[in-house]
Every structure is written in structure tokens, then in C-alpha cells.
């Protein structure tokens, strides 16, 4: 089930992690009662613990895609890459990768960490609309947590609330906009 994308040596760890993440994502979606195929996936994101890893991944992603944004969000750089060949993941073809530099939080795993789902509609009702997609059982399961935030890049003009649902290892985030739309709003 390896990706058809040709990963350069700088991304060998991510290439081998894609299968693990796909399985973990599907298991988590099943726990939540989410039908992934019915949702619009925007991008996939990675997490790492060291700047040297982020720099290596940045070099590798530049070989298979184009960096179209670099912003400071929550005090750390986040680079966005559009891949020339999308990554197949659980029925989706993802052509955008989010690469944040390490921050204060330490993640359990270095590699793929979350996908972001676009839920079009009023940004003020995003959380309510996202929660409505989850099964009643998901709302009371131990080990599942929910977090709302509103990350803001330096010149973003679109409101960008987020609802993150996680089991501590795999996260699914919901936003009202695609990343390309957020980046385009920066140009005004």
C-alpha cells in the first residue's frame, strides 16, 4: 500500500510512516463514526521534534513539490507544499503537506499527525457542524479530546476557526476554508 509518489531519501521516514498513518486514521475515524470518503480533505500535516528534521523534510518536500507559503503561526514557521503528484490516503488524493517547525508541544510520534477536513459554511457554526458528523458514542469515549482554536497567520484575512479531535496520536481537524484560500487572503 505504499504511495506511488517517489519519495527522495530525505523523506524515507515519512514514506514508511504513510501506511501506519493511514491505518491509524481509519481506526480513529471508525471510532468517531466518520465516513472519510464523504468528507473533503484539504491537506495532511507532519510533526517533528527537531529543527534538523524539519529542515530535512523541507528539502525533501521541495524535490517533490513547490513551497507556496511560509508563515509564522503561534511563534513558529509553518511551510506549505503543493505536491506534483498527490499522496493517496484512505481514498483521498492529498496534494498539500503542512510542515511546521517544532514548537513547545512534544508529540508522541514524528511523522504524519493529522489531516484537515474542509466544512464549507458559516465559520461561526464550524464546531457545531463538525460535532454533528460524529457519532453519539464518540462524544463520550475515553481518550478522545476536542480542542477549538483560531490559528492566525501574519496577514490572514479569513476567519479560520479549527475544531481538532484527537486520541493523542492521530488528529482530525475541521476548518471552513482550504489552505490555498487562507494563503490567497493574505495577499488581500
Task: Output the pLDDT for position 3.
Answer: 45
- Grouped pLDDT means (10 residues each) for the chain, 188 residues: 69 95 97 94 95 97 96 89 95 96 81 95 92 91 90 62 92 92 74
The DSSP result for 42-107, as a single string, is EEEEEE-S-HHHHHHHHHHHHHHEEEEEEEEETTEEEEEEEEEEEEEETTEEEEEEEEEPP-S---
pLDDT digits (tens, 9 = 90+) for 50-99: 999 999 999 999 999 999 999 888 889 999 999 999 999 999 999 999 99
Task: Output the pLDDT for position 153.
Answer: 55
- Global pTM reads 0.90
Residue 48 CA to chain centroid, in angstroms?
13
14 and 7 Cβ atoms separated by less than 8 Å? yes
Task: Output the pLDDT for position 156.
Answer: 52
Task: Output the pLDDT for position 45.
Answer: 96
The torsion region of residue 111 among left (phi > 0), alpha (psi -120 to 50) and beta comes to: left
The whole-angstrom separation of Cα 29 and Cα 31 is 5
The whole-angstrom separation of Cα 168 and Cα 142 is 11
* φ, ψ at 42 (rounded to 5°): -95, -50
> What structural domains does the chain harbor?
9-187 (3.10.180.10)
Amino acid at each position: 500500500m505504499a504511495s506511488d509518489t517517489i519519495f527522495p531519501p530525505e523523506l524515507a521516514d515519512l514514506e514508511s510512516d504513510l501506511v501506519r498513518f493511514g491505518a491509524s486514521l481509519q481506526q480513529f475515524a471508525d471510532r468517531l463514526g466518520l465516513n472519510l470518503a464523504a468528507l473533503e480533505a484539504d491537506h495532511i500535516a507532519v510533526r517533528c521534534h527537531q529543527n534538523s528534521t524539519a529542515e530535512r523534510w523541507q528539502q525533501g518536500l521541495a524535490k517533490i513539490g513547490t513551497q507556496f507559503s511560509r508563515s509564522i503561526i503561534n511563534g513558529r514557521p509553518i511551510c506549505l507544499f503543493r505536491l506534483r503528484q498527490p499522496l493517496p490516503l484512505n481514498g483521498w488524493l492529498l496534494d498539500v503537506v503542512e510542515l511546521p517547525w517544532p514548537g513547545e508541544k512534544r508529540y508522541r510520534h514524528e511523522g504524519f499527525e493529522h489531516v484537515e477536513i474542509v466544512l464549507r459554511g458559516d465559520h461561526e457554526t464550524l464546531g457545531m457542524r463538525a460535532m454533528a458528523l460524529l457519532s453519539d458514542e464518540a462524544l463520550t469515549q475515553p481518550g478522545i479530546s476536542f480542542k477549538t482554536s483560531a490559528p492566525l497567520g501574519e496577514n490572514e484575512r479569513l476567519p479560520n476557526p479549527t475544531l481538532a479531535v484527537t486520541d493523542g496520536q492521530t488528529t482530525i481537524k475541521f476548518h471552513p476554508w482550504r489552505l490555498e484560500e487562507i494563503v490567497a487572503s493574505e495577499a488581500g
